Amino acid sequence: MVVVYSYLFVFGIIGISTFFNKKGIFNDETSRKFIHIGVGNWIIVAYFFFEDPFWSVFPPFTFIVLNYISYRYDLFKAMERDHKTKNDLGTVYYAVSLFIVVLLDFVLFDQVKLSVLPILVMAYGDGLSAVVGTHFTSKKLYQNKTMYGSITMFVVSMVIAGILGYSIIGIVVIGIVATVVEMWSPKGYDNLTAPLILYSILLTGLVV
């Protein structure tokens, strides 16, 4: 039943974004970032409600397929960019990283449940940094990333780490790592690199 709720949750986020986009409340980019941020909250559902590790990986696995189909054929227009020439597979990588992190966390490492922070950082940190970087002019740093966008990634990552109870040192390390990885990752690939690298660091136990 939790799998059904997972699909309802994700499609609900997409539906809300589509509705606001059609009403002119969201522009295309805001619509995409609303989905980017909203869907990431699914990891909280997984953390609290999935008891069978196998079923926890089923939703993100199916969304790898659905997101690729959407990318190719504009199935979910609210989360796709109009141009495909740059091969921006960010939405597909988003689902891939979610699948890998949940697979590692819930199945291979017996539900150590370190996955919440990396996924929320990907959702909120990357999502909000893009919004801020787009709407407020600031110096370009690297890979077309802006200073304000990177500051947002740093602050949001630390706030999430603080809410989840990490130590002061851990909060700072997480903020720095998330910001540097996001800055140096090519467009779209940060949806893979940021959560996977953060999860790997947490798994070592060096950051608590």
Residue 196, number of CB atoms within 10 A of its CB: 18
Q: Do 185 and 194 touch, CB atoms closer than 8 A?
A: yes
> ∠ CA(175), CA(97), CA(176), 5° rounding?
10
Helical pair 127-135 and 28-40, crossing angle rounded to 10 deg: 160
| Least confident span in 68-82, 119-133, 176-190 | 68-82
Mean pLDDT, residues 65-83: 76
Domain containing 64: what range? 2-204
Q: What is the pTM of this model?
A: 0.91
CB 3 within 8 A of CB 55: yes
Q: How far, in Å, CA of 138 to CA of 161, rounded?
A: 26
Structural domain total, the chain: 1
What confidence tens digit (pLDDT) does each residue in 20-34 have? 988 888 888 888 899
Banded model confidence at residue 40, pLDDT cuts 50, 70, 90: very high
Percent of the chain scoring above 90 in pLDDT: 55
Which pLDDT does position 80 carry in this prediction? 67
Query: What is the three-class DSSP state of 164?
Result: coil
